[in-house]
Amino acid sequence: MIEQTLQWQLANKLQKLYDTLEKYEVAEVCYMIFKNFAYNQDKVSGLRLTKLGYNLLKPHYDSHDFTADEGIHKKLLLVLHKQMKWPYYLDKKKLVLFNDDDAMWLKMTGSVEKFAKGLE
């Protein structure tokens, strides 16, 4: 089951693109590139990228940068963790989306906070 997840597939692809990742198990690469990665027999979660994951994905995928003027707070983190279907990178003042539809919705709502409310 885990082999069919987006996280696993991305980690596997990155291993093929970067020789330095080949020496690790795919699950270990998932923990390296996803900040909130977790899995058990029934469920896989966590699409928030680490800085390393962001830097590895950015050259190979389209991304959209947004400033988070409102700042990042716990409720926003929880909503993104539960609702996002595609990888994203988040730091103190920036949200980077790797999905065109999500980026379009964020542009339409005008703020990260409103975008997150729309995901709930």
pLDDT at 1 over 70: no
- pLDDT bucket at 76, cuts 50 / 70 / 90: confident
What is the rounded distance in angstroms from the CA atom of residue 30 to the CA atom of residue 36? 10
For residue 73, with 0-12 CB atoms within 10 Å meaning exposed, 13-18 middle and 19 or more buried, which class applies? exposed
pTM: 0.88
The answer to whether residue 98 scores a pLDDT higher than 90 is yes
Asked if the model's pLDDT at residue 4 lies above 90, the reply is no
CA pair distance 87, 97, nearest whole angstrom:
7
- The predicted pLDDT at position 61 comes to 94
Query: Which pLDDT score, from 0 to 100, does residue 100 have?
Result: 93
* pLDDT recorded at residue 32: 96
* pLDDT tens column, 16-66: 999 999 999 999 999 999 999 988 877 888 999 999 999 999 999 999 998
Angle at 51 between CA 47 and CA 52, to 5 degrees: 90
